[in-house]
Chain A
Amino acid sequence: MSTSYAAHADDHHHHGPDPGLLRWVFTTNHKDIGTLYLWFALIMFFVGGFLAMGIRAELFKPGLQLLDPHLFNQFTTMHALIMIFGAIMPAFVGFANWLVPMMVGAPDMALPRLNNWSFWLLPFAFTLLIGTFFLPGGAPAAGWTMYPPLVLQGGANVAFMIFAVHIMGISSIMGAINIIVTILNMRAPGMTLLRMPLFVWTWLITAFLLIAAMPVLAGAVTMLLTDKFFGTSFFNAAGGGDPVMFQHVFWFFGHPEVYILILPAFGIISQIIPTFARKPLFGYESMVYATASIAFISFIVWAHHMFTVGMPLSGELFFMYTTMLIAVPTGVKVFNWIATMWRGSMTFETPMLWAIAFVVLFTIGGFSGLMLAITPVDFQYHDTYFVVAHFHYVLVTGAIFAIIGGVYYWLPKWTGHMYDETLGKWHFWISTISVNVLFFPQHFLGLAGMPRRIPDYAVQFTDWNMVSSIGGFVFGLSQLMFLYIVVQTIRGGEKVTERVWEGAHGLEWTLASPPPYHTFEEPPHVTEAEAHG
């Protein structure tokens, strides 16, 4: 059997990629599609980053300098939509495409043509969305949360935004279905569920969150669409609707969404830390159960985003307690990462630096989240820069740091070349210092009462805004180093071994670096030693 398989592999006409650019349009190869997703995410990261630079430039000093208030609101709204749906989510799907088949020993994703379609929807969605900047009335400006009635007062951009959200929603739902089917049906013999790398586990759970939450968002924006253009009154008080209901429906999607943005990051960190601590991950099973608990609880905490709408006391208490409950499984994870490093033979290559920074800085974001969960004080923090500081700590130093760390970790495997370690460390230190200069002062601004989503502010907020903006410019520019390092590594560099890292475990490290175009056409047999080190 195995000889006939090998013979077949030799005759197969698809040894490598098709020549020419159309390869990228028609490809159904999981590695090609992973690469497309990652490049798309990087481009969107720079587009969203450009908008962030505009925001920080305007906020450098009080008064209106560069952006008029309407354009400023367009910048904040589009910055959020592009970073969430265009940068972070596609980056994680890119990782999943590259790694899930290689980690579970499958030849490709389960539904390769669906995979191609999932990716190619995205450029269309974001063309629709970003194109709104050139419409009369400009881009959406009511915030990424799209609260009615304000959002319905937008011009033509409302329809463009809603259809863009629909298309990117369809894309991520199809991507999620593909990942679930691959993980459930295509694992190699011996790859039992509890031998799967944590990255695969976190993605499996994330994919379930996606198929449960994204359709609810699709429903919510469809209601907006019919309210705006077809005379329904879901959120229109004059017709008997209720604008607060939008907030409930939106955050029923929105809170699982924030775990969609962070669970794969937990997975990446859980791969990196054991490698450089040269110890198996501490508490593997508790990590799996913690991830699943976080995912479950994320569906029953949504109203903590809207404590100020006027809820009964019992509701406020319920959402406060459930929100705080999330800290328990999250604490289990942080504890396990630290316990993995404890008495390990640690080395501090670039991916490990990003992972350690993730653990420290994400935890700061977690703590400010706990502060926000306390209902009575949330009334003061609500819609201030404290909230902005909180979610940037969990999304930038959380999700983005994990993505960058993950790229450094797997880039040698993907390209066959080692990145420039010196430049990588420079990139890390500049980013980590500047990101704290950028976001830490925003805690102070928020506690002092500076509201979010404003282009101008009272003069007492000037100093910390200037500090924050300087940190922002340095952080933004330092990401160009990342682009340079990635391109340089793709074009050449020191050749790496299959294993790349001394302490790396998992099926992807048994393949050549770079892996051949088609891998695991014949399923490998998985041993406990390779699975958990």
Chain B
Amino acid sequence: MMTAAPRSDRTTAARANRRTAGRLAVVVLAMFGFGYALVPLYDVLCEITGLGGRTGVVAANALDGEVDTSRTIKVQFLGTVSSRLPWEFHPTVASMEVHPGQVYETTYFAKNLSPAATIGQARPSVAPSIASLHFNKTECFCFVEQEFAPGEARDMPVRFVLSRDLPAEISTVTLSYTFFNSRQTG
């Protein structure tokens, strides 16, 4: 038979093993949480770097009325509709020549082709991503959900201004909208 000493050695060892395993299990749970923490981290990183083309917040010096007429930037417009939204949607002009610091207005045309009222939500994106930090919209149909009656058509305005500190190497900026069916998010 086993003597008493080794048996207690063994239970001590088993307890030590369980303690180590428990600590490692905490690491596992923490890393599972870290996976979720990557979501807000990613959002913060996108805001700082313009990654993903999210448009920037209005910079203080962007709206002081001073216009940099020495630079002319080409702004291109794109419009896309999700396959789940039965709408027609496109910009009314394909592109504009703009000066940084001046506010411009353009419109997008949208028409509900379905026989039912539908609600859409537009998501903007600016390329190249570094320019998105300097692209400010003062008025946009993308700020709120848009409800369209059956067959209704509208011209929807966008007012925007390019900040004067737009990096010098950028001469073309593309603004793209995708309309999604906000009632169907799957």
Is B29 a contact partner of A180 (Cβ separation < 8 A)?
no
Q: A152-B186, A185-B16, A311-B51 are in contact. Are A11 and B27 (CB under 8 A)?
A: no
B34 to chain A: which residues have CB within 8 Å? 215-216, 219
What separation, in Å, do the CA atoms of A7 and B6 have in the docked complex?
Answer: 13
> Of the candidates A186, A212, A242, which one forms a contact with B31 in the assembled complex, judged by CB atoms under 8 Å apart?
A212
Interface residues of chain B: helix, strand, loop or mixed (majority):
helix
A218 to chain B: which residues have CB within 8 Å? 32, 35
Is B35 a contact partner of A312 (Cβ separation < 8 A)?
no
Q: A218-B32, A249-B35, A312-B130 are in contact. Are A238 and B52 (CB under 8 A)?
A: no
Is B36 a contact partner of A111 (Cβ separation < 8 A)?
no
Is B180 a contact partner of A238 (Cβ separation < 8 A)?
yes
- Contact code string A221-237 (vs B, CB < 8 Å = 1, else 0): 00100011001011011
> Of the candidates B25, B28, B180, which one forms a contact with A237 in the assembled complex, judged by CB atoms under 8 Å apart?
B180
Nearest-neighbour CB distance to chain A for B163, whole angstroms, equals 18
What separation, in Å, do the CA atoms of A114 and B17 have in the docked complex?
Answer: 12
Nearest-neighbour CB distance to chain B for A489, whole angstroms, equals 34
Contact residues, B41-58 vs A (CB, 8 A): 42, 46, 49-53
Interface residues of chain A: helix, strand, loop or mixed (majority):
helix
Q: A211-B27, A237-B180 are in contact. Are A228 and B186 (CB under 8 A)?
A: yes
Q: A220-B35, A312-B130 are in contact. Are A110 and B21 (CB under 8 A)?
A: yes
Is A233 a contact partner of B35 (Cβ separation < 8 A)?
no
What separation, in Å, do the CA atoms of A208 and B184 have in the docked complex?
Answer: 41
A5, A217, A218, A237 pick with most chain B CB within 10 angstroms = A237
Q: A238-B185, A244-B52, A312-B51 are in contact. Are A219 and B17 (CB under 8 A)?
A: no
Tell whether A16 is near chain B: CB-to-CB under 8 Å.
no
Q: Which residue of A lies closest to B34 (CB)?
A: A216
What separation, in Å, do the CA atoms of A245 and B24 have in the docked complex?
Answer: 27
Q: Which residue of A lies closest to B13 (CB)?
A: A185
Is A252 a contact partner of B2 (Cβ separation < 8 A)?
no
Tell whether B174 is near chain A: CB-to-CB under 8 Å.
no
What separation, in Å, do the CA atoms of A136 and B186 have in the docked complex?
Answer: 20
Is A180 a contact partner of B35 (Cβ separation < 8 A)?
no
What separation, in Å, do the CA atoms of A185 and B10 have in the docked complex?
Answer: 12
Tell whether B168 is near chain A: CB-to-CB under 8 Å.
no
What separation, in Å, do the CA atoms of A8 and B2 have in the docked complex?
Answer: 5
- Residues of chain A whose beta carbon lies under 8 Å from any beta carbon of chain B: 1, 4-5, 7-8, 11, 110-111, 114, 152, 173, 176-178, 180-181, 184-186, 211-220, 223, 227-228, 231, 233-234, 236-240, 242, 244-245, 248-249, 252-253, 310-312, 315
Q: Contacts A237-B180, A238-B121, A242-B42 given; 16 further ones with Cβ under 8 A?
A: A1-B6, A5-B6, A181-B17, A185-B17, A185-B20, A214-B28, A215-B28, A215-B31, A223-B39, A238-B180, A238-B181, A238-B185, A242-B46, A245-B39, A310-B129, A311-B51
Ordered nearest first, which 3 A-B pairs have the shortest CB separation? Answer: A219-B35, A238-B180, A215-B32
